[in-house]
Amino acid sequence: MIMNLHTHTHNSPDAKQTVAERVKAANQLGLRFMAITDHVEINRYYPAEYYHAEESEMYFYDGCGVFARSAAETAAAQADCAPLRLLFGAEIGQIPQDTEKAALIYNDPRVDLVLGSVHELPDMPDFYFLDYSSADIPALVTAYFEEVLRLARTDCWDVLAHLTYGMRYLPDRRAYDLTPHRALIDEILQTVIRKNKALEFNGSGLRKPQPYIDPELTILRRYFDLGGRNITISTDAHDTKYLGFGLDLLEDMVRAVGFTELTWFDKHEPRKVAL
């Protein structure tokens, strides 16, 4: 197992365990690179009181505080993590909604990599919480990819995280036909390539009863065919028990597509490791 560049700790409101516990598990697994990327939903950067709102399962706030705690804890763990190379970053949600605050995190000197994510559309909850029974699903998926393209066109990110997240909770995701969205997906992939950023192959869906990967293999192949060579692998672990889950399979799939190297980041600089 080479890498897991997308993991959450107890600093994220929906995840468990300390950075030190995660480091210990990573070394037991033999991981060479791990990134701590706790959640910063940039549209809820300040504590809930700032917005006269309440923290809830649906809406968590204080990305600024999460980032500060995660940074301090990761810096302490970096002093004693060998042989693992411990990278520090953040998963920033909804970057196009506040690029100035996203830049604050991106430009923090401790940050190796920022994962750019779209978890929700403007003025809507996370896709996880949507009621799909009454939704116009093709329109929703189009709006999702348009928002990802908006994200890709900003500069405060290094890795495009879980492309196809907006389809993750569709009633029958695996039967959903992506054909009408291919041109938009191509535009997203070409933007990643042009900017020399990376695409993530996110295996969190491998632990579901009907397993999936974000993005699916057809999109990964398309990225490769278009010339994309910067690829990261992750399990998006919110719990140590999923730190290595499916990593071997993800590596095999990436290799089968034709990639010979994986990408990691040293202070936003893409670096390669043989696959």
Would you tell me which residues interact with Zn ion (CB under 5 A)? 91, 117, 236
Cβ proximity to Zn ion, 25 vs 160, nearer residue: 160
- What whole-number distance in Å separates Cα of residue 140 and Cα of residue 76? 42
* Amino acid (1-letter code) at residue 139: A
Helices (H), 18-120: 19-29, 63-78, 99-106
CB 3 within 8 A of CB 273: yes
- What whole-number distance in Å separates Cα of residue 58 and Cα of residue 236? 19
Cβ proximity to Zn ion, 130 vs 261, nearer residue: 130
- CB of 93 vs Zn ion, minimal distance in Å: 7
Looking at residue 214, the DSSP 8-state letter turns out to be B
- CB of 37 vs Zn ion, minimal distance in Å: 7
Cβ proximity to Zn ion, 122 vs 227, nearer residue: 122
First-to-last alpha carbon distance for the chain, in angstroms, is: 10
Cβ proximity to Zn ion, 64 vs 163, nearer residue: 163
- CB of 213 vs Zn ion, minimal distance in Å: 14
- CB of 22 vs Zn ion, minimal distance in Å: 14
Cβ proximity to Zn ion, 117 vs 164, nearer residue: 117
- CB of 126 vs Zn ion, minimal distance in Å: 9
DSSP states along 219-253: HHHHHHHTT---EEEE--BSSGGGSSTTHHHHHHH
